[in-house]
């Protein structure tokens, strides 16, 4: 029989007591503001068993903490936040955390990053162009100048408009996989600054140096690959760290960086990964790669009236064809290995 529980959560100091009591497994963590510094209380955290046999909802405390006791029989679960006051989930990607209880660990930890009025003013507005130099007959657009593992390019919120060209258009060619991803229906999640480097970007001058965006698109094979994955979803982060963004930039920390995750199901982004451009091979951690050719440029022109931001990771519907958008070319990126 389905069991529905709803109740408050104990204080952070009492979480360890819960772990030692009746239930074999627990899901615990914190709800934090999008800069990771402030806790958010009063947020509903819900966990559901995959077979529908268990549903439990609780509320984060003033210090952002929550802990949910799970049944003592192994099962697969999905956790999410139930948001009622305009908050938006920034992390984890897709707004869901999927896990399975087993004998390996007793406590599963998941922190949630959200935007909320409790966190202060919303993120500022910005838009993005990405470019390169060499024309490619495969896409009919400009690419980088030498053979690398990944090519990318496009624009996001051209002219700072969330509606122009369905929010922009993003192309990515995974040469090693012989796949071409074409993203549209783009939504900007946030613009901000990378920790550890000076804020803002210089050409053009903006108060930000990173942008995160999401949307839907298509993923199809190229160069003899007949694969067609139909409608897919994606999350991307671009960091405009300096000028020039790649070639000619001697400071490694000053080179632009790029992260892309293309997946099949918003309910299980990590488990349905098709394309991943990152450092550690884990789609749940956002760790952008340093680009080796091309340039990523943030803009704030025409952003006097911030667009409406949404953290929705696309839809299950097939996207309409995007309106024509003038792209600024392509760049190139070489995978880095540890």
Predicted pLDDT of residue 305? 52
How does pLDDT run across 13-32, given as a tens digit for each residue?
Answer: 344 444 444 457 999 999 99
Whole-number percent of the chain with pLDDT over 90: 46
- List the alpha helices (DSSP H) in the chain: 15-19
How does pLDDT run across 291-332, given as a tens digit for each residue?
Answer: 888 888 999 998 875 434 333 323 222 222 323 323 334 444
C-alpha span between 281 and 270 (Å, rounded) = 11
Predicted pLDDT of residue 132? 61
Domain limits, CATH 2.60.40.10, in the chain: 3-118
C-alpha span between 181 and 232 (Å, rounded) = 9
Residues 6 or more apart in contact with residue 205 via CB below 8 angstroms: none
Give me the sign of the Cα torsion angle 29, 34, 38, 44.
negative
Predicted pLDDT of residue 329? 41
Mean pLDDT of the chain: 78
**Domain range 3-118, CATH class:** mainly beta
How far does CA 11 lie from the centroid of its chain? 30
C-alpha span between 158 and 155 (Å, rounded) = 6
- pTM exceeds 0.75: no
Residue 119 pLDDT > 90 = no
Closest CA relative to residue 110, chosen from 190, 38, 22, 29: 29
The string of DSSP codes covering 211-248 is EEEEEEEEEEE-TT---EEEEEEEEEEEE--SSSSSTT
Residues 6 or more apart in contact with residue 46 via CB below 8 angstroms: 55, 56, 57, 79, 80, 81, 82
Q: Kindly state the average pLDDT of the residues 87-98.
A: 92
Closest CA relative to residue 317, chosen from 214, 226, 233: 233
How does pLDDT run across 242-278, given as a tens digit for each residue?
Answer: 775 444 444 556 788 999 999 999 888 889 999 999 9
- 204 pLDDT band, cuts 50/70/90, is confident
Whole-number percent of the chain with pLDDT over 70: 72
Closest CA relative to residue 217, chosen from 329, 79, 95, 322: 322
Indicate the range of 141-150, 193-202, 228-237, 300-309 predicted with least confidence: 141-150
Choose between 39 and 181: higher pLDDT: 181
Predicted pLDDT of residue 324? 31
């Amino acid at each position: 029989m389905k069991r529905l529980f709803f109740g408050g959560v104990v204080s952070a100091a009492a979480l360890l007591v819960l772990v030692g009591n009746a239930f074999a497994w627990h899901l615990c963590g914190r709800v934090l503001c999008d800069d990771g510094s402030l806790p958010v209380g009063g947020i509903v955290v819900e966990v559901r068993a995959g077979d529908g046999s268990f549903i439990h909802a609780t509320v984060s405390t003033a210090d952002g903490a929550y802990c949910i006791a799970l049944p003592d029989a192994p099962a697969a679960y999905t956790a999410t936040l139930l948001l009622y006051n305009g908050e938006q989930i920034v992390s984890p990607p897709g707004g869901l955390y999927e896990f399975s209880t087993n004998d390996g660990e007793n406590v599963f930890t998941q922190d949630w990053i959200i935007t909320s009025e409790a966190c202060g003013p919303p993120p500022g507005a910005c838009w993005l162009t990405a470019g390169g130099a060499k024309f490619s007959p495969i896409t009919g657009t400009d690419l980088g100048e030498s053979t690398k593992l990944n090519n990318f390019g496009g624009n996001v919120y051209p002219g700072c408009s969330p509606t122009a060209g369905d929010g922009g258009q993003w192309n990515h060619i995974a040469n090693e996989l012989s796949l071409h991803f074409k993203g549209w229906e783009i939504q900007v999640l946030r613009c901000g600054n990378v920790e550890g480097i000076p804020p803002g970007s210089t050409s053009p001058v903006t108060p930000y140096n990173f942008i995160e965006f999401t949307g839907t698109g298509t993923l199809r094979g190229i160069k003899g690959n007949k694969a067609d994955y139909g409608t897919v979803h994606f999350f991307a982060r671009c960091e405009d760290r300096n000028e020039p963004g790649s070639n000619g930039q001697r400071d490694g920390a000053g080179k632009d960086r790029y992260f892309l995750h293309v997946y099949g199901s918003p309910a299980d982004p990590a488990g349905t990964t098709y394309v991943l451009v990152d450092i550690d091979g884990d789609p749940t951690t956002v760790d952008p790669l340093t680009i080796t050719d091309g340039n990523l440029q943030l803009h704030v022109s025409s952003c006097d009236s911030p667009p409406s931001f949404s953290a929705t990771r696309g839809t299950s519907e097939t996207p309409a064809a995007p309106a024509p958008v003038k792209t600024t070319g392509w760049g190139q990126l070489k995978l880095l290995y540890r």
